[in-house]
Copies of this chain bind each other. A is one copy, B any other.
Amino acid sequence: MVQTRSQTEKNIRKDVINNSEERHNRETDHDLGGSNHRAKRQKVVMTETASPNSEKQEVSFNNKNKNNIVHPELSSSSSVTVGLEARRHTVKDTINDNNVSTIHNANFGSGFTVDVSTESFSFGVSSNSGGGGFIVEQDASSANSLQTSIVSKYFAGSTKTVSSLRPEQRTRMEQSELITNEGGISNKNNSNNDSNASASQNPETQDLPPLKPLKKFQNYVDYDFSKMRDSRDPRNFLSMDMEKNPKCNECDKSIDLDFKFSKIFGVQVCFACKNKFPEKYSLLTKTEVKEDYLLTDAELRDEELLPHWLKPNPHKSTWNSMMLFLRMQVEAFAFKKWGGEDGLDREYQRRQLEKQKQKEKKFKTKIANLRKRTRTDEAEKSRQRSHTHEFGPAVLIPETGVSVQTCDSCGIKIEVVEF
């Protein structure tokens, strides 16, 4: 099997949640140039190492592991097939420590969080154990049906409407107020937004703030009392009868479910399983989703189609918030959109090829122009001898079935070696 981009490009970033959150909470705003990312993350990790709350975990995937082999029989399925496709799921032999931490941290601190997107005024205070008084916003079945209906909505007609939204659709999207899953409050400013609440989630804060509404609540309108739940309703709390508590969809045992994942993505999963299956539960930034799954802005803007978690921009908190998407949801939609995993890969290859063709086309015209120029002198000739190739992306040649990389400067092609 040919491996294309990403053996170096893409890794599963099962850590991205906390990573960005930690960064946001602990880092100062200076020195955030784009090229400093690696250094920055190093710094963060060191901080994390000292953190009493950090729960580190060494994850090691090996490329030769059978897990990384694509299962073509799964690819054409339109259900959420989560094969460990090489391109998107290949991980370096050892994930850098920098990148390892878990969502657990986010709920460890005594920060109190206010749910501004659901119908209850009760304040959920997450605790270390994950039990005791936090509210289960929605159950798995309703969340799943939501997701399903939306996907079918988008794919009911011709596939043409999928790849791009028409203006009317955009209009509809922008106008539609976000209705929560179970009805109730609809809030124009709602958007799973942590941007303004991050301070209260800071693990450093050890005292509970007084129970007064956040500023955000001043935006509240349209309370539908008929649909509001009494937060004292015992159903909203974990029951002493373990059978009655919602359980992790993966292990069907743990009730230590990730609060945020349930609320934002409508997915019931425990912290352990979430970390165990990054190919399903890792989070991707919008930019990553666009690059890896070839989704568009319009699609990612549609919260009903693909929910996202807004987090403060790690580069600068005042900038546009970072949008985090759940891999399994993104993947399900992308496979639908592109015709399974194979279709997605084909399209990716097509674009890489297109890109390379464009490059070469321009290159050829440049060369043609260059031919008219004067001959280079001997010094230049010798300089030309030492040449480090700068290979472009690997492009699959359908005829031969092998991928090829082309050097941008001299144009030589090398076959991409299978590993």
A 1-15 contacts with B by CB, 8 A: 3, 7-8
The answer to whether B375 and A381 touch across the interface, beta carbons within 8 angstroms, is yes
Closest to A362 in B: B362
| A12 vs chain B, min Cβ distance (A) | 14
A 153-190 contacts with B by CB, 8 A: 167-168, 170-171, 174-175
Given contacts A171-B170, A174-B167, A381-B375, contact A369 B419 (CB under 8 A): no
Q: Which residues of B contact A3 (CB under 8 A)?
A: 419
Q: Which residues of B contact A30 (CB under 8 A)?
A: none
Given contacts A171-B174, A175-B171, A418-B7, contact A371 B366 (CB under 8 A): no
Per-position binary interface string of chain A over residues 379-419, scored 1 when its CB falls under 8 Å from any chain B CB and 0 otherwise: 01101111111110000000000000000111011110111
The answer to whether B362 and A374 touch across the interface, beta carbons within 8 angstroms, is no
The answer to whether A412 and B384 touch across the interface, beta carbons within 8 angstroms, is yes
Closest to A8 in B: B417
Verify if A93 is at the interface (C-beta below 8 Å from B): yes
| A63 vs chain B, min Cβ distance (A) | 4
Verify if A376 is at the interface (C-beta below 8 Å from B): yes
Given contacts A167-B170, A174-B167, A409-B366, contact A372 B384 (CB under 8 A): yes
Verify if A367 is at the interface (C-beta below 8 Å from B): yes
| A209 vs chain B, min Cβ distance (A) | 35
Instruction: Name which of A370, A381, A383 has the most chain B CB atoms within 10 A of its CB.
Output: A370
| A367 vs chain B, min Cβ distance (A) | 7
The answer to whether B372 and A370 touch across the interface, beta carbons within 8 angstroms, is no
Verify if A66 is at the interface (C-beta below 8 Å from B): no
Within the complex, which residue of B384, B388, B415, B419 is in contact with A90, where a contact is CB–CB below 8 Å? B419
Given contacts A171-B170, A419-B419, contact A383 B363 (CB under 8 A): no
Given contacts A92-B418, A419-B92, contact A371 B380 (CB under 8 A): yes
Instruction: Name which of A175, A363, A373, A374 has the most chain B CB atoms within 10 A of its CB.
Output: A373
Given contacts A63-B419, A171-B170, contact A410 B8 (CB under 8 A): no
| A123 vs chain B, min Cβ distance (A) | 34
Q: Which residues of B contact A374 (CB under 8 A)?
A: 384-385, 387, 410
Partner-B contacts on A (CB < 8 A): 3, 7-8, 63, 90, 92-93, 167-168, 170-171, 174-175, 362-363, 366-376, 380-381, 383-391, 408-410, 412-415, 417-419
Closest 7 CB pairs of A and B: A369-B409, A372-B387, A63-B419, A373-B384, A171-B171, A7-B419, A373-B410
